[in-house]
C-alpha cells in the first residue's frame, strides 16, 4: 500500500541559469512534490504528526536547498532536493518537478525526477 502527500506549485525564488546574467537575479520557480509513504493508517488512527511527513518541514527544506547556492541547471537543483528530502524524511518514493519561466514562447520549462531511498547509495 502506498499513500501520497502532494505539494503543488510551491513558489520559490532561486539563482539559477546557465549564464552569469541569468543567475544574477533570483528567478521564480514552481516546485511540485509527490511523496509516497507506506500508509496513513497509523497517523490517522493516532491523529499524531509524528507518524506522517510534516509537509511544513518539507517546504522549509525545499526553500533552504534552493537558497543554498546558485546553480546552472534545474536538473542539479532537482537532484539535490530529492536527495535531501529522501535522506531527511521517511519518504518511500518522491516525484519532484521544477518549473521555470524563461522561454518567451513557452508557458514554462520543467524537469521532473522520481527517486527512492535506493538512489541514496548510488
The per-residue pLDDT string of the chain (122 residues; one tens digit each, 9 = 90 and over) reads 589 999 999 999 999 999 998 899 999 999 999 999 988 888 788 888 888 899 999 999 999 999 999 999 999 999 999 999 999 999 999 999 999 999 999 999 999 999 998 887 75
pLDDT value at residue 65 = 93
Total-model pTM: 0.92
Which residues, at least 6 apart from 63, have a Cβ–Cβ distance to it below 8 Å? Answer: 12
pLDDT value at residue 122 = 59
* Structural domains of the chain ordered from first start: 3-121 (3.30.1130.10)
Q: Please say whether the dihedral angle defined by the alpha carbons of residues 119, 66, 94 and 99, taken in this order, is positive or negative.
A: negative
The angle formed by the CA atoms of residues 6, 7 and 12, to the nearest 5 degrees, is 160
Amino acid at each position: 500500500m502506498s499513500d501520497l502527500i502532494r505539494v503543488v506549485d510551491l513558489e520559490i525564488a532561486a539563482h539559477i541559469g546557465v549564464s552569469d546574467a541569468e543567475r544574477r537575479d533570483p528567478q521564480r520557480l514552481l516546485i511540485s512534490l509527490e511523496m509516497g509513504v507506506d500508509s496513513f493508517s497509523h497517523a490517522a488512527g493516532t491523529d499524531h504528526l509524528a507518524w506522517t511527513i510534516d509537509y511544513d518541514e518539507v517546504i522549509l527544506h525545499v526553500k533552504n536547498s534552493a537558497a543554498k547556492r546558485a546553480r546552472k541547471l534545474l536538473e542539479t537543483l532537482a537532484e539535490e532536493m530529492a536527495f535531501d528530502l529522501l535522506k531527511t524524511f521517511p519518504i518511500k518514493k518522491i516525484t519532484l518537478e521544477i518549473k521555470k519561466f524563461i522561454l518567451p514562447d513557452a508557458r514554462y520549462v520543467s524537469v521532473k525526477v522520481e527517486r527512492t531511498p535506493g538512489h541514496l547509495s548510488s
